[in-house]
Amino acid sequence: MKTKTPWHSGKMICVAVFFIAAIVTLVAIAIVQNKPLEQKYKYGIVLDAGSSHTAMYIYEWPAEKENNTGMVGQRHKCKVKGKGISSYAREVAGAGRSLAMCMEEAKQCIPAAKHQDTPVYLGATAGMRLLMKQDRNSAVKVMEAVQQTLQASPFSYQGARIISGQEEGAFGWITVNYLGKNFQKAAGTMGALDLGGASTQITFVSKETIQSPDNAMEFRLYGNDYQVYTHSFLCYGKDQVLKLALEKKLKSADTSLEDPCFHTGYSEDKLFQKVFDSPCVQAVSTDAMNKSFMHKGSGNFIECQNSIKDIFNFSQCKNSQCSFNGVYQPPVEGTFGAFSAFYFVMNFLNLTGQSLADTKKGMEHYCQTPWNTIVENHPKVDKKYLAEYCFSGTYILTLLENGYNFTSENWKDINFIDKIEGSNAGWSLGYMLNLTNMIPAEAPDTPLMPHGGFVTLMLFLTLFLLILLFLGYTFLGRPSCLPPKEIV
């Protein structure tokens, strides 16, 4: 006798096929989508050997996502004790030794298994550029000393070099825009203003064709082309500018100097050597170097600003427009991130969020405050640094307004920033991203689907499977292990 095929067997096959197909899809998507989740971290170390001090930055990023913008973050910062490496010209071994403590911290911070795959770079800036001019031999020896220390570490040594002013500007610009994820936004990029002790950089995208090749840099990043204007002013970092300003005011016969950029009541005996020991100022005789002068404050912002204007040359310009000293600069455009000493000084003075007029009023008030009041108000701040904020703040205002031509209209576009998303603004991150090829020219492949889409799809497929199960149950009747409903 032939058994009759049940009426629902065709449907059952259909249900079974869908069921299997759904399971296969579910598993396949889960595998593909979750592959990057087994995240392994990678690390990189950059030492920023500035004119005043060295800082070591440890960066980390998920290994699978190194080509996505904004994925690299700062894991740790270590401040090297003592002065910058250029101060070790007469005792070069000390430059190498000075880095040892931070390298030890790096060993603790990065898992041991990753040490030998972790690149370490050192970039020296304006302090070493100046030492190179002043005493090339010592500069080369200082670089060799730091190289030795880094090579002796368990990390993968990738070089120690003096970076150019253009690199310093461009990598600072890359850092702030990478951290701000601006490369993939339609809104455009942010300019970068970096103020160090020995040099200062301005970098931004200009609509104008850059008129001098020295100031032009071109990048193709994440599928977009950028033409960037950049300039680095050697000797215009805040510590060298103080020497330039004092040089203008001091005559070699002077035994005392009244200075409007220092507070009334401030009085300090200083060696001429402190002013004239730099290649940024005219050399004086050894005799003069050993003399001293009484540096006295008279606390007057307007007079201070006038004296600072003397160190800028606004008279000559071979291009359509210049910032100062005959350096071509297109008009500033868009928003800017002002970091390093721009931030430290303006943050100390509580002048990071005011209009230009109010910033000037704030400076006027601060500079005319007597020195003893300033000391009383800031008992914990080292007097050497405390004494210089009136000068530094006035220099920053003058540099931005008279040097770079910011106005009361676009002053609000300057953002004084220390960190973006937990990482310090500065050239070091951009430098590492560039050397490790982490900023692709073209936009990287996007994942199969965003996480939200993945979750929704999974929910739909699960629902679909449940429906299939329900249908299967209805078509096939209840499982045989259950007692039949009615016996005929």
Smallest distance, ligand CDP to C-beta of residue 238, A: 5
Helices and strands, number each (H, E), in the chain: 17, 16
User: What is the Cα–Cα distance from 227 to 295, expressed in whole angstroms?
Assistant: 46
DSSP state of 254: -
Instruction: Decide whether 86 or 359 has the Cβ nearer to ligand CDP.
Output: 86
Q: Could you say which of 42, 53, 231, 243 contacts ligand CDP (CB under 6 A)?
A: 53
Interface residue with ligand CDP among 191, 196, 297, 430 (CB under 6 A) is 196
Say how far apart CA 392 and CA 399 lie, in whole Å: 10
In whole angstroms, how close is the CB of 372 to Ca ion at the nearest point? 33
CB atoms within 10 A of CB 472: 17
Q: Is position 264 annotated in a ligand binding site?
A: no
Please state the closest distance from residue 288 (CB atom) to Ca ion, in A. Answer: 31
Using an 8 Å Cβ cutoff, are 257 and 293 in contact? yes
Region 49-68 residues binding Ca ion, contact defined as CB under 5 A: 50
Q: Is 364 a catalytic residue?
A: no
Q: Which stretch binds Ca ion (CB under 5 A): 36-44, 89-97, 191-199, 412-420?
A: 191-199
369 is in an annotated binding site: no
- Which position's Cβ is nearest ligand CDP? 196
Query: Between residues 180 and 196, which has the closer beta carbon with respect to Ca ion?
Result: 196
Please tell me whether 147 is known to bind a ligand.
no
* Rounded CA separation 159/28 (Å): 44
d(CA 102, CA 333) in angstroms, rounded, equals 39
Q: How far is the CB of 279 from Ca ion (least distance, A)?
A: 18
Catalytic residue, chosen from 167, 168, 333, 421, is 168
Q: Which residues of 3-33 are buried (b: 16+ CB within 10 A; e: fewer)?
A: eeeeeeeeeeeebeebbeebeeebeebeeeb
Q: Could you say which of ligand CDP, Ca ion, none residue 230 binds, taking C-beta under 5 to 8 angstroms by partner kind?
A: none
Q: Select 72 or 162, whichever has its Cβ closest to ligand CDP.
A: 162
Q: At closest approach, how far in Å is the CB of 68 from ligand CDP?
A: 29
CA gyration radius, the chain: 32
Contacts of 230 (CB under 8 A, 6+ apart): 166, 169, 170, 173, 201, 202, 203, 215, 216, 217
User: Within positions 192 to 221, which residues make up the interface with Ca ion, using CB under 5 A?
Assistant: 196
Query: Which amino acid makes up residue 142?
Result: V
DSSP one-letter string for 31-70:
HHHHGGGS--EEEEEEEEE-SS-EEEEEEEEEGGGTTSTT
Binding mask 232-271 for ligand CDP (x = CB under 6 A): -----xxx--------------------------------
List the x/- string, 199-238, binding to ligand CDP by CB under 6 A: x-------------------------------------xx
- Site residues for ligand CDP, 64-123, by CB under 6 A, read 84
Q: What are phi and psi of 240, to 5 degrees?
A: -75, -35
The reply on whether position 165 binds Ca ion by CB under 5 A is: no
**Catalytic residue numbers?**
168
What residues make contact with ligand CDP under the rule CB under 6 A? 50-53, 84, 125-127, 196-199, 237-239, 340-341, 344-345
